[in-house]
Amino acid sequence: MEPMTKRAPHTDSSGQEITYPSLHGAECPWPSLELMRKRHPVYQLPDQPDLFAISRWEDIRYVSSHPEIFTSDRSRSALLGTDVDVMIGSSTLVVTETDGEEHKRKRAMAFQAVKPGRLVTYEPMIAQLVDRLIDGFAPRGRADLVDELTGPLPAYVTCHMLGLPEEDVDYIREWGTFEVPGLRWYSEDFARRQLASAARMNRYLTAKVLDRHEHPGDDVISDVIAEQIAQDGEFDLAEARSQVTVLLGGGVITTAHFLSTAICNTLASQGVLERVSADHALIPTLIEEALRLETPSLWHTRRVLVDTELHGLRIPAGAFVLLMTAAANRSENRFPNPDVLDIDRPNLKHHVGFGYGAHFCLGAPLARLEVRIAFEHLLTRLPNLRLANDNDFKHIASVQFRGLRRLNVEFDPAPTVCGDRG
């Protein structure tokens, strides 16, 4: 059963419907996002008067650059209208809900996962995981890549990074779908179930962090604990755990969605597919353009600290703004012909798919690495890779995240490379 949505469509003065953000409009948000961008750059949601959607590229960069007006502090949990931290058993804010010096301090802890010296060691591990997953379907000549590759890969990578057992990967995938700000649009029952799942995650990570404090190893949890102790002088369970929580959740769902949509859009664009298949050096360029075209997290939140005005519309203190990055990434004045996958764009790195400013996605280098390796191995190992005819291209039921439910592909059957997988 899909979660219920609370929001109905709204018709603007031109007679066109704005159906997003909502579960109802999430399957195809692009007409609503275009209408916002062109006619309502600051869109006050009619049924939620404390919410304002910001949809233009330059405005999102402005808001992201002025935390003294638009703060990240409690911008996600407060949007839900309840104390999420208490409900899930946490007692400290995560890095994504802080600004200023506190944000820098927490970001230094989370940075342990993706610091250059550690990041370079991930490539062989990721390559092995990709090959192992491809081995599971290569001889068949057919696969659902969401179920068999793009979904499990980021969860497996996260397990290896954090030093968690692989048998916990299904739990990791479930917890990675938790979306705090999006819960405002769902039924109370669905929100309670999501929060209960998050509370289980919190208890699970509590045990893992305590164990790693007593028995440190060569893993990210141990490094986060060491950085936290170096900063604070003594071990703080809540502080260390909160940053591990971000690493666990942030590294799973968005990378999985991004990888699936990037593969889908590439296979649907024959010219791009031919070029990147012939020249893998183009894959990093493809990654940026694919992220611009299909941003896996459609929006982010900020809380308004002081009365302000944007495009002639007053936004009062205490309100929230939704930074509609998916809309901004299709701004016609920045990206001509924005609905097309075009790897020759001269400014394709100017997208805001990873955010902008101080809160630029910490995991961006890891996401790029995973997606690059997956593309390289798919294009190398699976001859004549193509979309199957039975795809419906439907997306998951989510107000905030955008990812395919399944991605059926066909190819010429290929041999395995990993041998006995144990």
| Tokens (6 digits) for 269 | 């664009």
pLDDT at 69 > cutoff 80: yes
Query: Range of 168's domain?
Result: 42-82+108-176+251-410
Residue 219 forms part of a structural domain: no
Summary mean pLDDT of the chain: 89
pLDDT at 108 > cutoff 90: no
> Residues, the chain, total?
422
More confidently predicted of 349 and 264: 264
Name, in order, each residue with C-beta under 8 angstroms of 277's C-beta and a sequence gap of 6 or more: 379
The confidence score (pLDDT) of residue 83 equals 53
Residue 310 forms part of a structural domain: yes
More confidently predicted of 117 and 124: 124
Are residues 18 and 32 in contact, defined by beta-carbon separation less than 8 angstroms? Answer: yes
Q: Which amino acid is at 295?
A: T
Confidence of residue 4 (pLDDT cuts 50, 70, 90): very low
Residue 317 forms part of a structural domain: yes
Residue 199 forms part of a structural domain: no
Q: What is the pLDDT of residues 233-261, one digit of tens each?
A: 999 999 999 888 888 877 788 999 999 99
pLDDT at 421 > cutoff 50: no
Residue 420 forms part of a structural domain: no
The confidence score (pLDDT) of residue 253 equals 86
The confidence score (pLDDT) of residue 418 equals 84
pLDDT at 120 > cutoff 50: yes
The confidence score (pLDDT) of residue 383 equals 97
Tell me the C-alpha distance between 371 and 258, whole Å: 8
pTM of the model: 0.92
* Torsion from C-alpha of 217, 220, 226, 228, nearest 10 degrees: -150
Residue 421 forms part of a structural domain: no
Number of domains in the chain: 1
Q: Which amino acid is at 210?
A: L
Confidence of residue 141 (pLDDT cuts 50, 70, 90): very high
| Tokens (6 digits) for 112 | 């342990």
Q: What is the pLDDT of residues 334-370, one digit of tens each?
A: 999 999 999 999 998 899 999 999 999 888 999 999 9
| Tokens (6 digits) for 286 | 């493809």
| Tokens 């192992």 -> residue | 132
| Tokens (6 digits) for 203 | 């208890």
Confidence of residue 1 (pLDDT cuts 50, 70, 90): very low
| Tokens 């997988």 -> residue | 421
The confidence score (pLDDT) of residue 8 equals 45
Residue 279 CA neighbour count, 13 Å, CB half: 9
Q: Which helix (H) or strand (E) holds 247?
A: helix 237-250
The confidence score (pLDDT) of residue 2 equals 44
Are residues 46 and 10 in contact, defined by beta-carbon separation less than 8 angstroms? Answer: yes
Question: What is the domain-level CATH number for residue 74?
Answer: 1.10.630.10
Can you count the helices (H) and strands (E) in the chain?
A: 17, 12
Residue 62 forms part of a structural domain: yes
The confidence score (pLDDT) of residue 118 equals 87
Tell me the C-alpha distance between 398 and 358, whole Å: 26
Strand segments, DSSP code E, in 84-192 are 142-144
* Percent of the chain residues past pLDDT 90, beyond the cut: 67
Q: Which amino acid is at 367?
A: A
Phi and psi at residue 117, in whole multiples of 5°? -60, -35
Residue 221 forms part of a structural domain: no
More confidently predicted of 182 and 87: 182
pLDDT at 202 > cutoff 90: no
pLDDT at 422 > cutoff 70: no
